[in-house]
Amino acid sequence: MASAALLALTTEANGALAEQLATTLVERQLAACVALKPVTSIYRWQGQIERSEEVQILIKSHPAKAQALEQAVHELHSYSTPQWLVWPAEAGEAYAAWLSECCAIS
């Protein structure tokens, strides 16, 4: 049986900032797990085409933490306009229980 989960995606400027953000989110029990992956991003910013090396951050959390998670990411992020994409997911029963435990959901 599947249970509700939440996935969120953002990027950070470098590995150190990404690790700091990820660690804080897990410490605050807003995320159960955060996966970090180096990426090359090409995007338009202030009328210019930009290219930068960033770290993609995939946050695995519980839906009950969605609002607090978004608030924390915007508070802690190094970018003035951080990427923030969120989508609901279904997790296996054991993984969902682990998510709930890590995110202090009773």
Classify the C-alpha dihedral 55-60-64-65 as positive or negative. negative
Phi, psi of 99 (to 5 degrees): -55, -45
Share of the chain above pLDDT 70, in %: 98
**Chain segment 30-51, per-residue pLDDT in tens:** 999 999 999 999 999 999 999 9
**Chain segment 55-74, per-residue pLDDT in tens:** 999 999 999 999 999 999 99
DSSP-assigned letters across all residues of 13-79: SSHHHHHHHHHHHHHTTS-SEEEEEEEEEEEEETTEEEEEEEEEEEEEE-GGGHHHHHHHHHHH-SS
CA dihedral angle for residue 64, residue 85, residue 19, residue 72, rounded to 10 degrees = -50
Q: Which domains does the chain show, CATH number per domain?
A: 2-102 (3.30.70.120)
Q: What is the pTM of this model?
A: 0.94
